[in-house]
Amino acid sequence: MGALDGKTIIVTGASSGFGEAIAIACCRAGANVSLVARRRELLETVAETARSLNGGGSGQAMVCPADVSDDDQIHAVVERTRATFGPVDVLVNNAGYNVTERSIADTSAEQWRDLLAVNLTSAFVFTKAVLPEMKERGDGLIINLASRAAMYPSLLAGVGYSSSKIGMEALNIVTNEEGNPQGVRACLFNPGAGNTPIMERRPVVPGPEQKARMIQSEDIAAAVVFLASLPPRVHIDVLSMMPTKS
């Protein structure tokens, strides 16, 4: 028996980094997982890994290529997930990226709009798509992968990225205000520096020793499985994680 047996989970940004590890870990724990990202070939590789590590368990992995900046594609993912696995139990809003330009002066308006579309607006559209069924069912969990930039916005994280993550904090708060009375929970998960491909976009890319001290993808995945396995009576509204050694 897996900790997430029978649960239907959508993971966005599942082709690499945190999302890849989350999708694999949830599948291994018995969940039926929809893997969402733009590049089908990368998703197929992640899905195959999840299946191979599942060891004949009940969890399944389904590839759902989609551009999360497109509302219609988001709705198509949710409908396909429902049709294949049943009602959505857990939504993991993980999709996100950053740009090399971090200051107001260097960040273009187009970069600002694109960052908010992927990092924040997609989380809103996915939430809007699954929240009514969760409220009607009286149960459901939405995990919003943000960042400690939501708590401490900075030039290092960048004006666009920091703003998108603070926006996710607001989305999480309002989701709980709407959903808690009907048993729906939202958790804002704020990791510190993580060893993922997004680090390659820092103005100064961290070296191997720095990356080894960072939070690893499997650490994030373990925390998500923990959150998703808690009973409905338990609500963790904010989870902050940081490397022990900075």
- Angle, helix 71-85 to helix 122-137, in steps of 10 degrees: 30
CA distance 147 to 161: 9
CA distance 20 to 45: 10
Side chain identity at residue 145, one-letter code:
L
Catalytic residue among 18, 112, 161, 189: 161
For 131-237, where are the E strands, in sequence order?
A: 140-145, 184-191
Torsion angle, alpha carbons of 102, 108, 113, 119, to 10: -20
CA distance 125 to 127: 5
Q: Is 161 part of the annotated catalytic residue set?
A: yes
* Whole-number Cα distances in Å, 132 to 31, 138, 175, 183: 21, 10, 11, 12
Name the residues annotated as catalytic.
161
